[in-house]
Structure 1
Amino acid sequence: MSSPTELREGLAELAEPVIPTEGFEALIFRRARRLRARRRFAGATAVAVCLAVVVATFRLVAVGPAPQLAAVPPDGPFLGWSAAGDVDAGLLREATEVWDRGGPHTAVRPLVAAHDRELHSVVVLQGYDERNAARLAFFTSDTTAADALRLRADRPAPDPVRTQVVSLISSRLKGPAGRAGQSFWDTYAIAVAMPGVTLVQMSTTTLDDEYRQGPETATGRFVVKALPDATAETTTVRGFVKPAKLFAQWRRVFAVPGDGGASGDAQGVRGQVVRRSDQQIVVAVRAVRPGQLAVVAEGLVGRVASVDEARGEATIDLVTSPAFTMAAWTNISNVPGTVRGTGGKLLMTGVPAGEKMEINVTNRVVVADPSQENGIGAVTIGRATVAKPADADTVELTPTANLAGLREVSIMTPPAVG
Structure 2
Amino acid sequence: MYDTTELRDGLAELAEPVTPTEGYEGAIVRQAGRIRRRRRIATATAASVCLTVVVTMFRVAGYGSAGQLAASPPDGPFLGWPAVENVDGALVREAVQVWDRAGSAGPHTAVRALAATQNPRLRSAVVVLQGYDKQGAARLAFFTGDAGESGALRVRADRPAPDPVTTQVISLVSPRLTGTAGAVSSDGTYAIAVAMPGVTAVRVSSTAVDEEITGSPDAPTSRLVVERLPLNATAQTTTIEGFLKPGRPFAGVTKVFQVAGEDGADGDARAVPAQVVSRSGQQVIVTFAKDANVQPGQLAVVAEGLVGRVSAVDTARGEATVDLVTSSGFAGQVYTNISNVRGSVRGDGGKLVMEGIPATGDVYKTNRVLMPDPAQHSDQIGAVTIGRAAADNAPGAATVELTPAADLVHLTELSIMTPAAG
**TM-score between both structures, scaled by the size of structure 2:** 0.81
CA contact (8 A) 1:302 1:317 kept: yes
Alpha-carbon contact 1:172-1:179 (below 8 Å) kept: yes
| Partner residue of 2:369 out of 365, 369, 374 | 365
Deviation at 1:85, TM superposition (A): 1.7
Counterpart CA distance in 1 for 2:108 and 2:338 is 45
Which SS does the other structure have where 2:149 is aligned?
Answer: coil
Pairing 1:333–2:351 present: no
Q: For the residues of structure 2 that align with 1:278 and 1:70, how far apart are their CA atoms?
A: 47
Aligned partner letter, 1:323: G
Q: Tell me the TM-score normalised to structure 1 length.
A: 0.82
Partner of 1:26: none
Q: CA offset at residue 180 of structure 1?
A: 1.2
Deviation at 1:389, TM superposition (A): 1.4
Q: State the partner residue of 2:229.
A: 227
Following superposition, the deviation at residue 208 of structure 1 comes to 2.0
Residue 79 of structure 1 is matched in structure 2 by 79
Aligned to 1:112: 115
- What per-residue deviation string (whole Å, max 9, x for no partner) do you get for residues 296-316 of structure 1? 111000000010112110100
Cα distance, 1:207 vs. partner? 2.2
Matched position secondary structure for 1:131:
coil
Q: CA deviation at 1:190?
A: 0.3
Separation of aligned partners in 1, 2:253 and 2:370: 33
- Residues 1:254 and 1:349: Cα distance change in structure 2 (over 3 Å): same
- After superposition, residues 335-354 of structure 1 pair within 5 angstroms as 335-354=341-360
Residues 1:404 and 2:404 are matched in the alignment: no
Equivalent position to 2:202, from 180, 197, 200? 200
CA distance in 2, matches of 1:221, 1:238: 11
Amino acid at match of 1:117: P
SS in 2 for 1:404: coil
- Name the SS of the counterpart of 1:74 in structure 2: coil
> What letter matches 1:302 in structure 2?
G
Q: Distance in 1 between matches of 2:354 and 2:84?
A: 46
Counterparts in 2 of 1:212 and 1:289: CA distance versus 1, 3 Å? farther
Q: Which residue of 2 aligns with 1:18?
A: none
Larger radius of gyration: 1
Q: Secondary structure at the match of 1:240?
A: strand
CA RMSD of aligned residues (A): 1.4
- Structure 2 residue aligned with 1:156: 160
Give the AA of the match of 2:191.
A
In the alignment, is the contact (CA less than 8 A) between 2:363 and 2:393 conserved in 1? yes
SS of residue matched to 1:96 = helix
Q: For residues 261 and 69 of structure 1, what CA distance do their matches in structure 2 show?
A: 27
Q: CA deviation at 1:340?
A: 1.1
Q: Is the 8 A contact 1:207 1:331 kept in 2?
A: no
Could you list the structure 1 runs, at least 4 aligned residues long, displaced by more than 4 angstroms after superposition. Answer: none
Amino acid at match of 2:279: R
Equivalent residue in structure 2 for 1:249, among 249, 252, 256: 252
Please point out which of 381, 395, 401 is paired with 1:390. Answer: 395
Matched residue, 1:174: 178
Rounded to whole Å, the distance in 2 between the matches of 1:399 and 1:66 is 37
Between the aligned residues of both structures, percent identity stands at 61
Q: Secondary structure at the match of 1:169?
A: strand
Deviations 1:121-156 (A, max 9, x none): 000000110000010000000010011111110000
Task: Please state whether the residue corresponding to 1:243 is helix, strand or coil.
Answer: coil
Alignment match, 1:318:
324
> 2:386 matched to which residue of 1?
381
**Matched-pair contact (CA < 8 Å) for 2:243–2:257:** yes
Give the superposition deviation at 1:214.
1.9
**CA–CA separation in structure 1 for the residues paired with 2:214 and 2:317:** 41
SS of the residue 2:239 aligns to: strand
Aligned to 2:5: none
How far apart, CA to CA, are the structure 2 residues paired with 1:333 and 1:109? 47
Q: What secondary structure is seen at the aligned counterpart in 1 of 2:92?
A: helix
For residue 210 of structure 1, what is the aligned residue in structure 2?
Answer: 212
> Post-superposition shift, 1:248?
2.3
Instruction: Tell me which residue corresponds to 1:296.
Output: 302
Q: Does the CA-based 8 Å contact 2:218-2:245 persist in structure 1?
A: no
In the alignment, is the contact (CA less than 8 A) between 2:147 and 2:178 conserved in 1? yes
Question: Residues of 2 paired with 1:105 and 1:66: CA distance?
Answer: 41
* SS of corresponding position for 2:346: strand
The whole-number CA distance in structure 1 between the counterparts of 2:397 and 2:237 is 31
> Which segment is superposed worse, 110-119 or 142-151?
110-119
Q: Is residue 208–residue 331 contact of structure 1 (8 Å, CA) maintained in 2? A: no
Secondary structure at 2:401's aligned position in 1? strand
Task: Quickly say closer, same or farther: Cα 1:301–1:206, change in 2 above 3 A.
Answer: same
Structure 1 unmatched ranges of 5 or more: 1-61
- 1:86-139 CA deviation, whole Å, 9 max, x = no partner? 111111111111111142111101111011113310000001100000100000
From 138, 142, 147, give the equivalent of 1:138: 142
**SS of 1:282 mapped into structure 2:** strand
How far the C-alpha of 1:63 sits from its partner, in A, is 11
C-alpha distance in 2 between matches for 1:372 and 1:408: 22
Change (3 A) 1:63 1:395: farther
In the TM superposition, residue 64 of structure 1 has moved relative to its aligned partner by 7.0
Unmatched segments (≥5 aa) in structure 2: 1-61
Whether the 8 Å CA contact 1:386–1:396 is kept in 2: the answer is: yes
Secondary structure at the counterpart of residue 99 of structure 2: helix
Distance (Å, rounded) in 1 between the aligned partners of 2:64 and 2:383: 40
Q: What is the CA–CA distance in structure 2 between the aligned matches of 1:331 and 1:142, rounded to whole Å?
A: 29
How many residues matched? 352
